[in-house]
Structure formats: structure tokens, C-alpha cells
Structure 1
Amino acid sequence: MIVVEHDLGVIAHADWVIDLGGDAGGAVVLEGPPRELVRAPGSFTGEHLARHLATAPAG
């Protein structure tokens, strides 16, 4: 199943993420688990996800 999602809580709990973006848009920035997304260079989603994970309550 493919789901297009922008909610960081949902992205954080996904099994696998395909992040599209890049300078011109539409390029695959990362394909993998969400925890790898926070370290992906050039991923705006990864930047926001890192902040979300740092402030999210444990559990």
C-alpha cells in the first residue's frame, strides 16, 4: 500500500518512507526507514522529522 502523508507522527511510525524532493522536485531523496530520513542530506522532511522526534513524548 502506498500512502501520501505529511503528518510527521504518521511518518515517524511508518515502516518505509520514500521522500521526494530535491532542487527541481520529484527526485527520490531517500528510500528507507524513517530514522534514516533524519540523516538524509537535503531532505526538508528529514529536518522537520528530526525536530518532531526530539520534542515528541516517549512512548
Structure 2
Amino acid sequence: MLSSAVALDEVVRATDGSLVLAIPAFVPAFIVTGVIIHIVRKDRREEREEAARAAAADN
């Protein structure tokens, strides 16, 4: 019974190590996604302001 507990502990440690090694692969993807979301939000905000200015000019 003790040997299976030790084997299970080793499997968990191996999984944790691979997750740590995968983090550098995801960080650039999150950065790129954040930049794209920022650009889209900025563009939509500018379009809203431009539409509001056009509507004010029409009145």
C-alpha cells in the first residue's frame, strides 16, 4: 500500500513540473490577447464619441 502512495506522489510532482514549464508558452499569448482587446475597446470608444459628435452637429 505504501508503494502506491509513493508512486502517486511522484506522478503529481511530474504534472506540476510540466505545468510550470508550459507557463512561458502561454504568457505571450495572453499579452497579445490583451493588446488586441485594448485596441478593439479603444477603437469602439472612438467610434462612439465620433457618432455622438456627428449627432450633436446635426442638431
Q: TM-score range by the shorter chain?
A: under 0.3
- Normalized per residue, the structure richer in strand is 1
Q: TM-score, normalised by structure 1?
A: 0.28
Kindly name which structure, 1 or 2, has the bigger radius of gyration based on alpha carbons: 2
Q: TM-score, normalised by structure 2?
A: 0.28
- Normalized per residue, the structure richer in helix is 2
Q: Which has the higher contact order (CA 8 A, sep 6+)?
A: 1
